[in-house]
Structure 1
Amino acid sequence: MKPTIAFKLIIVNLLLFVNLCLYAQSQPIQTFNKIFNFADASISQTVRGISNIDEKLFIYGNVYHENYSEMIIAKSDLEVDSITIIKHLGFVGDEYMISKIINTEDNNMLMTGRHIFKESDTTYSEMFLIKLSLDGEVIWNKTYNIENYNERWVSGVTLVEAKDNGFLIVGGSSIMGVVIKTDYLGNKEWQYTIGNNTTSNYVYLRSCLVLPDSGFLIGGHNFNGHDYYAGTAYLCKINKSGEFEWGKSLGGPYKDRGTYLNFSNDGLIIGSYQYTSDITYWGEDTETKIAVFKMNLDGEILWEKRYGTIGESYKINSINELNNKNLLISGSTKYLEYGWLFQTTSIGDSIKFSSFEPENNIYYMYGFSGSLPLLDESIISFGYANKIDSASSTGISNGWLVKTDLNGCLNNISVLSQPGNIEAYNGDTLDLKVETYCNVNVDYQWFKDSAEIFNASNSILHLLNITSVDEGEYYCRISNSCETIYSDAFNININYYGISDNSLYNKPKYIITPNPVNNYLKIQPQLTINEKVEIKIISITGVISTSLVSTFNKENCIEINTSYLNSGIYFLQIIGKENYGVVKFVKK
C-alpha cells in the first residue's frame, strides 16, 4: 500500500523538526552581561522578573518617574538584541508595582503586585491580579484587600495557577502574610492569613507551589519585632479550601529569611533560604549562609546543607532544578556587592559558585533578583545596578541582565563538532578535530584511555601511520578560566582487512600459492591487472612486515620472498589506483 501524501508530509515535518532540534543543539549559546532599560537610562528602573513563553522572553519591571511608578512589560528574543514594549500601566495617583508574571494554561499572561492609589489625600495600596493576552491586551483586572483587617499596605508577591484553573496570590501587608484564592476569572473565593497583625509576629511570604493533592505549599519567614534575635524561615501547607494542614520552621536561633521553593524532576520539593549564622549585639546579621534542602510532599526534610564564606552575607531569591538535575540558587549580597549563582548536585554537593558585576564600572551597587533556566540550555539572571547621576548627584537604578551557560559561565565553551567512533586501517593517518566556539581563547588536552597524550594540546590530534597501539578510547578536555568541559568519548578500532572507502576499487579475487607457504608465495588475480600496486604483508597484530611496489608479470603474477617471516597468520594487502584486495595466508 502506497503511503498517502499526508503521511509523507508528516514524515517530512518530523524529520525537519529533528534536524532543527539537532541544529539548535549545535549552535553556541550567546551569553551576555548587559544593562537593560525600558526607558531612558537617566530614569531609575529595575527588572523584577522574566517569563519564558513560546520561546520569547517577557521582561517586566518598573520605571520610577519623578511623581509616580510605572509598570512595563517588554517582549524579546532569547538574546535580548531588541525589545518591544507591549504594556505600560500606571500614572500619577494610580501606580502599579509589578512582582510576578506567569503563563496560564490558556496561553495568556497573569500578573500580580501592588496597586497604589490615593483617597482623600491618603495613600493606599492593594493587591492586584491582571490577566493579559501575549500582546498586552487586558482581559480582566481585579484588586483585593485583606478582609477583617484595616490595612492600608497590601501587595501581591507571587502567584500560581491552581488545578481548578483558578489562581492563588501570595503576598501580604506590612506585617502579615496573606493568601487569596480566586476562580478562573479572578473572583475571590477565600482568604488565608498568616500572622496576627501585631509587631510581635512579622510574616513575609515569598513563594508557593501547587501540590499534587490540589493543596498549596507556601514559603516565607517570620520574626518577633520585639526580639532582635528571634526569627525563622517558615513553611506551611494549606488545602485547596484554604484550611491549614501543617507548618514547619527551618533554620537556627537567629533571624533566617526566605523561603524559596520549587519542584525537582523526581516530584520532590527543593528549597533555599538565608540562614543567619552570626549577628551583632543589637541583632543585625553579620554572616549568613545559603541553606538548601530537599523534602518530600509530607514535609519531611530529606537533607539540608549550608554553604558560604566566613564573614559574607548572602541574600537568596530563587531556586531551580536544571536539566542535568543540578540545583541552581541565585541572589545577591547584603550590601549589593555582586550578583551570584550557586550550583549543587541533586544531593546537595557543592559544584560551583559564580559572581558577577556589570561590565561598566560606573555602577556601585548591584544584585540579582532571580534567575531562570532557558530552553537553549542557558541561564538568564535579572536584577538591578545602581549608579550616581553625574548631573544631579543622585542615585539611579538601571535594569541588569546576565545570560550564562548551564555552568554559570559567561565565556562559555560550545562544542560545534567532534569525532565519533572511527574504524581506521593499519598505516592510516588520522586528523581528529574538535571545533569549539568561545569569546576567549581556550586550552585543549587530548586523552587516550583516560591518560593525557604527550604534546597533544591543540584542537587537532594528528595520528600518523596508526597501528594496533593506537586503538582505544579518546576524548579532549577543553578549558578556559571560567569552565572545563570534555568532548564526547569515542573509540578508534583498527581494521586489518581493508582500506577506507574501498568501494572505489575493483576487487578481483586473488589466489595465493602455496598456502601455507615456506619461502616464496605467488599472487595471481583472476583479472588482468596492468598497473603498479603496493603490496603489504601485515601480521595479525597489525604490524607491517613488508611493503613494496611491484607490477604483475606476463603471467599476471607477482612472487614475494616470505622466508624471513615467523610462523603465523598474515594478511596480504594489494592496493593500486584501480584495484584492491586482501588475502589471508599462513607461514609455516
Structure 2
Amino acid sequence: MRHFISILFILSLCTPPGVIAQTTYFNSSYNPNNTFAIATSILEYDDDFYISGGTWDSIYGNRAIFIGKVNPDGNLEYFKTYEASPFQYWSGYTNSLISTEFGHLILAGHRGRFSDGSREATYYNFNINGDTNFTRYYPNHTSSDYISFNQCRRTSDNGFVFVGNMTVEPTNLDVLIIKTNYFGQEEWRANYSHIGVHSIDQGYNILQTEDGGYLVGLYYYSTGMPVLGDPYLMKVDEQGGFEWEINLGGPYSDFLLTVCNSRDGNYMCAASIADTAMGDLTFTKVNISKISPNGEILWTRSVGGQHLWNKVHGIYQDHNDGYVLCGFRHDSLNSIEWMSSCGWICKIDENGDSIWWREYEHFDDPEFHLNSLYDIHLTSDGGYVAVGQTATIYDPQQVWVLKVDSFGCDTPGCNQVGLADLNKSKDATKIEIFPNPATKYVNIRYSLLITRYSILIYDMFGRLMEEIIVPSGQEEKRLDVSSYPAGLYIAVVKNNSSVFGRMKFVVTKQ
C-alpha cells in the first residue's frame, strides 16, 4: 500500500499546474436562426461559456448582435439576438466580450443606420442571462459618417477603455480610444492617425500598462497604389497622450497586431507578416516580438511556418507559464477560387519558441471548408476554449466553439504533443518500459521487423528531449534519464512515415 501511495504522489506532481477539474472536449457549431452566425469572442464564467458575435435575425433578415451561453458539455443553452429598426448592429472584433465581478457581460460594438450608413460606437451591458442592463452610444463629434468599437478592457479604476475607429475626413480613418466609468459615462476620448491624404488607421487591440497608460495594436495602410499595410504597436499615457509607436511589419502587405503583457514587465506581440506574394495570394508567418516599455524590440521569433494567409487573432498569458495564440490559415483554392481553411492554436514559451502547434477543423468537405478561430480563453480545467466560424458550400456560416485540453488536444488520449500527424502503422507494436517510475535509467522493449527506426522522447509540454536511431534487429534500448527533470515523458517508436507505438513513463528524483 505504501508503494501504491508513493506512485500516486509522483503522478500528482507530474500533473500540469492549474488542472483542477476533469477536462471536457467538444467541437460544436450553432446557427439557431438558420441564417448565418459568426462568433468573435468567448469567455468562461462560473464553468459556462459565453459567446458574442453577429447574425441575421430570423424574421426580417436584419443584421444583429447576439449573446449565447454554452454549457461545459458544448450544448447551446441560449442564443439571444439584439436589433431594432432602422439600425443594423455589429459586435466588436476578437475578445470584445468581457465579464465583471457583478455578473455583467460587457460587449463593444457599433450600430449603423439603414438610411445614410452613419454609425455610432456602442457599449452593451448584459446580465448573465443575456438580457440588457443598459446600452450607451457614442457619436462621432467631427463627422456623422463612421465610428465603431472593436475591443474593450477593464481599467484599474473599475471603468472601461474602448478602442476602435472613426472618420475625420471622407478618405481618412483614425484610431479611436474612449475611456468611460463603469456605467459608460465618457471621461475622455482621443484619436490618432498617420500623415497622408488616404490614411487608414484601425485600432483592434488595447490593454492597460503598469504606468496607467495604454498599449494599442493597430493596423495602418494607405489607399494609394500599391496598397501596403503594416501592424503597429502604439503607447499612449493615462489621458490618451501619444508617447511612441513602432512598426512591426515587413516589405509586403501584412495583417493586424495583437499584444499582451509579459511576466517580466515587457510586452509580447503577435502579428502575421507576409514574406512572399504571388499575384493576389500572400504567404504569411506568425511573428512573435518582445517589446520593452520604451518601445525597443528585444527579439523577434517566427512560429508555425509559412502558410497561405496565415492570420493570428490573439495572444494571451497561459495558465502558469508561456503564452497561447489562436488563428487560422488557408490551405487550398477550389475551382471557384474559394480558399479552404483550418483553425489553429499554438503554445509558446517565454522566449517565443513554439511548444506545440495544433490545427483543427469542424467541417472538412474537400470541395470547400471554412474553419476560422478568432478568440481563445483559458478554462478552469487547465485547457482552452476557442471560438470562430465554420462553413461549407452547402452549410452557411455558423458559430464554431472548440474545447481542448492543456496540450491542445481535441480528443482524450491525444498525447503525441509536438509530433506531426503520422499514420499509425499496421505493424504497430506494444512497447514495454521498465522500471516505471525510474530514477537513473529506463529499458524500452519492443519487437519490430523493419530495418531502421527511431525512439523519440517528449516531455509533458511536447518538447523533444532526445532522439535515438536504433539499428535493425535490436529489440531493447537502455536510456539514461538521470539528467531528465522529474516529470512525465512519452516514448514514441517511429520511422519516417509511421508511428509503431508510444508509452508514458515517469522520472523521479531521490
Match of 2:130 among 131, 136, 156: 136
By relative contact order (CA 8 Å, sep 6+), the higher-ranking structure is 2
1:242–1:366 CA distance, 2 compared to 1 (3 A):
same
> Could you say which residue in structure 2 is the equivalent of 1:343?
347
1:474–1:173 CA distance, 2 compared to 1 (3 A):
closer
Contact conserved, 1:340 with 1:356, CA < 8 A, in 2? yes
**1:180-191 pair list within 5 angstroms:** 180-191=178-189
Aligned equivalents of 1:241, 1:474: Cα separation in 2: 48
Aligned equivalents of 2:274, 2:28: Cα separation in 1: 32
> Could you say which residue in structure 2 is the equivalent of 1:446?
433
Paired residue secondary structure (2:118): strand
> Could you say which residue in structure 1 is the equivalent of 2:359?
355
Contact conserved, 2:307 with 2:329, CA < 8 A, in 1? no
Paired residue secondary structure (1:396): coil
Report the Cα offset of residue 31 of structure 1: 1.5
Contact conserved, 1:380 with 1:404, CA < 8 A, in 2? yes
Aligned equivalents of 2:160, 2:296: Cα separation in 1: 27
Report the Cα offset of residue 68 of structure 1: 0.4
Q: Percent identity?
A: 20
> Could you say which residue in structure 1 is the equivalent of 2:473?
none
Say yes or no: does 1:314 pair with 2:307: no
Task: Name the TM-score, length of structure 2 as normaliser.
Answer: 0.74
> Could you say which residue in structure 1 is the equivalent of 2:212?
214
Offset from partner CA, 1:491-541 (integer Å, 9 cap, x none): 7x9xxxxxxxxxxxxxxxxxxxxxxxxxxxxxxxxxxxxxxxxxxxxxxxx
Structure 2 residues not aligned, in runs of 5+? 1-14, 168-172, 331-338, 416-427, 449-481, 494-498
> Could you say which residue in structure 2 is the equivalent of 1:258?
256
Say yes or no: does 1:328 pair with 2:335: no
Say yes or no: does 1:145 pair with 2:158: no
- Letter matched to residue 296 of structure 1: S
Contact conserved, 1:222 with 1:234, CA < 8 A, in 2? yes
Paired residue secondary structure (1:73): strand
- Computing the radius of gyration from Cα coordinates, the structure with the larger value is 1
- Letter matched to residue 374 of structure 2: S
Offset from partner CA, 1:463-485 (integer Å, 9 cap, x none): xxxxxxxxx9997637798x988
Report the Cα offset of residue 305 of structure 1: 1.0
Offset from partner CA, 1:96-115 (integer Å, 9 cap, x none): 22122111354422111111
1:478–1:280 CA distance, 2 compared to 1 (3 A):
closer
Aligned equivalents of 2:223, 2:265: Cα separation in 1: 37
Aligned equivalents of 1:484, 1:219: Cα separation in 2: 43
Report the Cα offset of residue 56 of structure 1: 2.1
Paired residue secondary structure (1:123): coil
> How many residues are matched?
420
Report the Cα offset of residue 290 of structure 1: 0.4
Report the Cα offset of residue 285 of structure 1: 5.1
Match of 2:507 among 484, 489, 507: 489
Offset from partner CA, 1:67-126 (integer Å, 9 cap, x none): 3022221223333234234x43113423322122111354422111111224xx323221
**1:71-82 pair list within 5 angstroms:** 71-82=65-76
Aligned equivalents of 2:210, 2:20: Cα separation in 1: 37
> Could you say which residue in structure 2 is the equivalent of 1:502?
none
Task: Name the TM-score, length of structure 1 as normaliser.
Answer: 0.64
Contact conserved, 1:199 with 1:226, CA < 8 A, in 2? no
Paired residue secondary structure (2:130): coil
Aligned equivalents of 1:48, 1:59: Cα separation in 2: 8
> Could you say which residue in structure 1 is the equivalent of 2:490?
477
Paired residue secondary structure (2:256): strand
1:358–1:240 CA distance, 2 compared to 1 (3 A):
same
Aligned equivalents of 1:475, 1:124: Cα separation in 2: 58
Aligned equivalents of 2:154, 2:487: Cα separation in 1: 49
Report the Cα offset of residue 182 of structure 1: 1.4
1:285–1:138 CA distance, 2 compared to 1 (3 A):
same
- Letter matched to residue 214 of structure 1: G
Contact conserved, 1:445 with 1:478, CA < 8 A, in 2? no
Contact conserved, 2:140 with 2:146, CA < 8 A, in 1? no
Aligned equivalents of 1:237, 1:363: Cα separation in 2: 41
Say yes or no: does 1:378 pair with 2:383: yes
Contact conserved, 1:222 with 1:231, CA < 8 A, in 2? yes
Contact conserved, 1:445 with 1:476, CA < 8 A, in 2? no
> Could you say which residue in structure 2 is the equivalent of 1:97?
90
Report the Cα offset of residue 138 of structure 1: 2.6
Aligned equivalents of 1:107, 1:226: Cα separation in 2: 47
Paired residue secondary structure (1:408): coil
Report the Cα offset of residue 456 of structure 1: 11
1:133–1:407 CA distance, 2 compared to 1 (3 A):
same
Contact conserved, 2:178 with 2:190, CA < 8 A, in 1? yes
C-alpha RMSD of the superposition: 3.4
Structure 1 residues not aligned, in runs of 5+? 1-20, 390-394, 416-440, 458-471, 494-588
Report the Cα offset of residue 273 of structure 1: 0.6
Contact conserved, 1:277 with 1:288, CA < 8 A, in 2? yes
Contact conserved, 1:231 with 1:253, CA < 8 A, in 2? no
Comparing 165-174 with 270-279, greater Cα deviation is found at 165-174
Say yes or no: does 1:411 pair with 2:411: yes
> Could you say which residue in structure 2 is the equivalent of 1:500?
none
Comparing 236-245 with 99-108, greater Cα deviation is found at 99-108
- Letter matched to residue 81 of structure 2: H
> Could you say which residue in structure 1 is the equivalent of 2:369?
364
